[in-house]
C-alpha cells in the first residue's frame, strides 16, 4: 500500500517537492495546503492536485506531512501532524526557536513517528563523493554566499543559510563545541544578513564559516584540512577535490614528489572523485520514505536538526552581545 503524502506550503521550494514526489516510489500525493490563493490556484492548475482548506483537513487524509512553509510556521504545522500520529518531513531549520524544537522532540518521542529535517546538503553528490574518503578535519573553512532574495528573511542568515554548513560540520566533527566567536551585520533586514563565525571544538578542530545573503555571486564551498589530506567540496558546482599524502610505493600518474625540510621525500596525489549526477531533493525524500517503509533510522533526525539549531542560536546570542540590534 502506498504512503499518502500532503505538502504544506507550495512556494519556491514546495513546487520542487511537488515535482519530486511525483517521481518517488511508494507514495501517492493526496493534496496540498497553501494559504495564498494565487499560489494555490497556480498549483491546482499545473499539478491537477486537490487544495485543502485547512492544515487539519489535509492531515486527516495523509500518512506523511511534507512541511515546506516559512520557518516561523514549522512548529504549528509539525505539531498538528505529529499529534495526529503522522510522519513528518520538515524543511530546515527544524523550527524557529529552540523552545519550539525541544517541544517537537518531546512530541515526536511520545507519538513514535518518523521525522526527517531537510538538511539537503547531506544528499549533495559532491559531499557524498567526499564522504567515501575518511574525513577527520582539524580545520574547516566555509563560504556560503547568495544574492539577496526576500524569501527566507523571516529568519537570520544563520538559520537560513549557515545552518546547512553547521549540520554538515556537526555530522563530521565528533566533538563538543568549546567556544564560538561571531560577528554579524544587518544590512537589508533587521536580523544578520552576513556573518562570520569561528567555532572551536574540544578535539582542537576549528571551523571558520562565512554566510551571506547579500552577495553579488553565489558560492557554497567547504574546505577540510586534516593530517593527511585537503578535501574541497563545492556544493554548488557539485565538484570534489582531494589532495592527499601517499605512500611512496602507491604512486600513479596524478602524484608527484616533494622534499620536506627534513630531507624526506613525500608523495602528493591529487584526485577528483567521480561525483554522481543526482537530484539531492528527490534522494532525501526517497530516503525518508524508505525509512518509514523499512522502519529504519532517518538520515537527518530531529535531534540533528536540533543540534544545528542549538549552535545557530549560540552564534546569534554571540552576535547579539556584539551589539547587533535584533538577532532572532
Positions that interact with ligand NAD (CB under 6 A): 8-14, 33-36, 39, 68-71, 73, 77, 91-92, 118, 120, 151-152, 160
Give the nearest distance from C-beta 59 to ligand NAD in angstroms: 12
> 189 CB contacts (<8 Å, ≥6 apart)?
153
Give the nearest distance from C-beta 7 to ligand NAD in angstroms: 9
Identity of the residue, 71 or 286, whose beta carbon is nearer to ligand NAD in the bound complex: 71
Give the nearest distance from C-beta 165 to ligand NAD in angstroms: 12
CA dist., res. 318 & res. 324, Å (int): 10
Identity of the residue, 147 or 272, whose beta carbon is nearer to ligand NAD in the bound complex: 147
| Residue 66 burial class via C-beta count within 10 angstroms: exposed 0-12, middle 13-18, buried 19 and up | buried
Which residue lies nearest ligand NAD, judged by its C-beta?
A: 11
Give the nearest distance from C-beta 159 to ligand NAD in angstroms: 8
**Which DSSP string do the residues of 19-49 spell out, in sequence order?**
HHHTT-TTEEEEEEE-S-HHHHHHHHHHH--
Identity of the residue, 119 or 201, whose beta carbon is nearer to ligand NAD in the bound complex: 119
CA dist., res. 128 & res. 133, Å (int): 9
Give the nearest distance from C-beta 152 to ligand NAD in angstroms: 5
Give the nearest distance from C-beta 268 to ligand NAD in angstroms: 35
Characterize 191-213 residue by residue with b for buried, 16 or more Cβ atoms within 10 angstroms of its Cβ, and e for exposed: bbbbbbbebebeeebbbebbbbb
Identity of the residue, 160 or 165, whose beta carbon is nearer to ligand NAD in the bound complex: 160
Cell of 123: 544528499
> 12 CB contacts (<8 Å, ≥6 apart)?
151
CA dist., res. 34 & res. 12, Å (int): 12
Identity of the residue, 69 or 312, whose beta carbon is nearer to ligand NAD in the bound complex: 69
Identity of the residue, 136 or 153, whose beta carbon is nearer to ligand NAD in the bound complex: 153
Amino acid at each position: 500500500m502506498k504512503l499518502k503524502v500532503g505538502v504544506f506550503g507550495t512556494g519556491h521550494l514546495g513546487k520542487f517537492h511537488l515535482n519530486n514526489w511525483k517521481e518517488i516510489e511508494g507514495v501517492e500525493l493526496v493534496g496540498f495546503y497553501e494559504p495564498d490563493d494565487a499560489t494555490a490556484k497556480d498549483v491546482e492548475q499545473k499539478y491537477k492536485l486537490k487544495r485543502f482548506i485547512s492544515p487539519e483537513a489535509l492531515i486527516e487524509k495523509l500518512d506523511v506531512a511534507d512541511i515546506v512553509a516559512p520557518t516561523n510556521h514549522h512548529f504549528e504545522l509539525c505539531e498538528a501532524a505529529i499529534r495526529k500520529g503522522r510522519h513528518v518531513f520538515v524543511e530546515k531549520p527544524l523550527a524557529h526557536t529552540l523552545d519550539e524544537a525541544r517541544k517537537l522532540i518531546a512530541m515526536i518521542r511520545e507519538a513514535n513517528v518518523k521525522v526527517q529535517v531537510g538538511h539537503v546538503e547531506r544528499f549533495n553528490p559532491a559531499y557524498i563523493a567526499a564522504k567515501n574518503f575518511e574525513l577527520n578535519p582539524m580545520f574547516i573553512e566555509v563560504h556560503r554566499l547568495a544574492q539577496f532574495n526576500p524569501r527566507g528573511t523571516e529568519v537570520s542568515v544563520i538559520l537560513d543559510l549557515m545552518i546547512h554548513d553547521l549540520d554538515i560540520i556537526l555530522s563530521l566533527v565528533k566533538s563538543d563545541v568549546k567556544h564560538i566567536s561571531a560577528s554579524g551585520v544587518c544590512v537589508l533586514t533587521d536580523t544578520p544578513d552576513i556573518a562570520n563565525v569561528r567555532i572551536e571544538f574540544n578535539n582542537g578542530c576549528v571551523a571558520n564559516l562565512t554566510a551571506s545573503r547579500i552577495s553579488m555571486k553565489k558560492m557554497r564551498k567547504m574546505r577540510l584540512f586534516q593530517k593527511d589530506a585537503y578535501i574541497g567540496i563545492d556544493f554548488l558546482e557539485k565538484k570534489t577535490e582531494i589532495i592527499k599524502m601517499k605512500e611512496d610505493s602507491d604512486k600513479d600518474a596524478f602524484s608527484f614528489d616533494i622534499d620536506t625540510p627534513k630531507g624526506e621525500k613525500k608523495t602528493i596525489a591529487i584526485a577528483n572523485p567521480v561525483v554522481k549526477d543526482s537530484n539531492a531533493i528527490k534522494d532525501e525524500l526517497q530516503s525518508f520514505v524508505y525509512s518509514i517503509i523499512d522502519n529504519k533510522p532517518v538520515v537527518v533526525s530531529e535531534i540533528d536538526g536540533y543540534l544545528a539549531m542549538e549552535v545557530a542560536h549560540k552564534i546569534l546570542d554571540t552576535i547579539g552581545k556584539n551589539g547587533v540590534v535584533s538577532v532572532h
